[in-house]
């Protein structure tokens, strides 16, 4: 019996959403190159593409954008929950529970996905996240601005000021790059729940819970932590060699699918560099350290097919845009929720409950001994 630990190379469904060529380092959403989408599209248009399988026409795009903008507000019940949460609570736990409250408010017990549910989930994630960020900073939450794009409004609600054009574009591209990535752990977790015909909110909560793990959505936090620990470009090689000698991972390096440079990392590197040049100071120092880590890491690991992944430079981009490291996974989730929904919609069209098998290796026929005789 061959056991595929981690379900590696096991196909669980057919999909028309995302294609990854791990050998050549290519990524496509609905057949469109991630490079083209990152250059020409935005989060709203790419979300529509992921959800509905085609680029929208002008009417469809404007209607979708309008729906997202008008649905950003969160209920008083969710606000009261966020105000009552301890300031040291883990942000992914807060997001997960807020989404659970949203599910309670919709009062859906079994699988049903309305257009409004889809819009609510995508539009409200940034509001929940930014609301809690502001409360943790002892600042008044900033209400959504319907005149701003999805990315611009997110940054506005977090920082309290209208973002620059460069910041808006960096955020937009970062969110595009995180929208979907085929059958990753959080997408699979969402599908397992949806396959039971549970409600959409429960399925999304499963995705959040899986993304919370440091081997998935938490890796960019660990990458930034590493850059900070290194402290200076001069310390990079010694630090990396020490980690390798102790058989420790280089955070932000390596991927289950990519055996070459992650295309998302290539794109994010250019935005990390742009933000470093614009902001200077700590951001510039962290970028310079990251660049050196990349050089040394590839020198020793590239021959093994281990290169920077999306988490490597997204950590600097998110930090430069005003997010504390603990919130990095929530920003990831605010984009990936679109992908989770798309995969759920695709799978449930021809649904079969996901129920893999486990190979039993224990004893059979053991004799029961009463408690007083053990």
Active site residues: 255, 311
Q: Which residues neighbour 320 within 8 Å (Cβ) at sequence distance 6 or greater?
A: 170, 272, 275, 276, 279, 283
DSSP, residue by residue, 290-329: HHHHHHHHHHHHGGGT--B-HHHHHHHHHHHTT--GGGHH
Residue 279 parent element (H or E): helix 263-279
CB 131 within 8 A of CB 79: yes
CA 21/CA 222 separation, integer angstroms: 26
Residues in the chain, total: 374
Say which DSSP state 100 is in.
H
Are 292 and 198 in contact, with CB atoms under 8 Å apart? no
Three-class DSSP category at 53: coil
């Amino acid at each position: 019996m061959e056991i595929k630990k981690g379900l590696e190379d096991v196909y669980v469904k057919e999909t028309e959403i995302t294609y990854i060529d791990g050998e050549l380092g290519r990524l496509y959403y609905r057949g469109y190159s991630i490079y083209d989408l990152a250059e020409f599209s935005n989060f709203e248009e790419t979300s529509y593409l992921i959800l509905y399988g085609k680029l929208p026409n002008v009417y469809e795009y404007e209607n979708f954008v309008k729906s997202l903008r008008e649905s950003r507000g969160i209920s008083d019940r969710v606000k009261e929950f966020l105000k009552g949460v301890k300031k040291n609570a883990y942000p992914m736990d807060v997001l997960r529970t807020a989404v659970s409250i949203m599910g309670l408010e919709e009062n859906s017990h079994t699988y049903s996905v309305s257009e409004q549910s889809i819009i609510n989930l995508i539009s409200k994630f940034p509001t929940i996240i930014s609301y809690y960020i502001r409360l943790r900073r002892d600042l008044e939450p900033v209400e959504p601005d319907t005149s701003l794009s999805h990315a611009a409004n997110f940054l506005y609600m977090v920082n309290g000021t209208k973002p620059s054009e460069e910041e808006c574009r960096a955020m937009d591209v970062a969110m595009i790059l995180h929208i979907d990535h085929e059958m990753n752990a959080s997408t699979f977790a969402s599908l397992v729940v949806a396959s039971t015909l549970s409600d959409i909110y429960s399925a999304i909560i499963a995705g959040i819970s899986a993304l919370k793990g440091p081997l998935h959505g938490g890796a960019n936090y660990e990458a930034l932590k590493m850059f900070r620990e290194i402290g200076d470009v001069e310390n990079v090689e010694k630090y990396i060699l020490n980690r390798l000698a102790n058989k420790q991972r280089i955070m932000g390096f390596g991927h289950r699918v990519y055996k070459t440079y992650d295309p998302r990392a290539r794109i994010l590197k250019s935005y990390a560099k742009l933000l470093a040049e614009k902001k200077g100071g700590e951001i510039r120092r962290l970028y310079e350290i990251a660049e050196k880590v990349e050089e040394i890491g590839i020198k020793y690991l590239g021959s093994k097919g281990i290169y920077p992944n999306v988490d490597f430079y997204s950590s600097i981009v998110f930090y430069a845009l005003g997010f504390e490291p603990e919130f990095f996974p929530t920003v990831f989730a605010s984009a990936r929720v679109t992908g989770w929904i798309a995969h759920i919609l695709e799978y449930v069209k021809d649904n079969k409950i996901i129920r893999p098998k486990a190979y039993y290796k224990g004893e059979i026929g053991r004799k029961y001994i009463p408690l007083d005789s053990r």
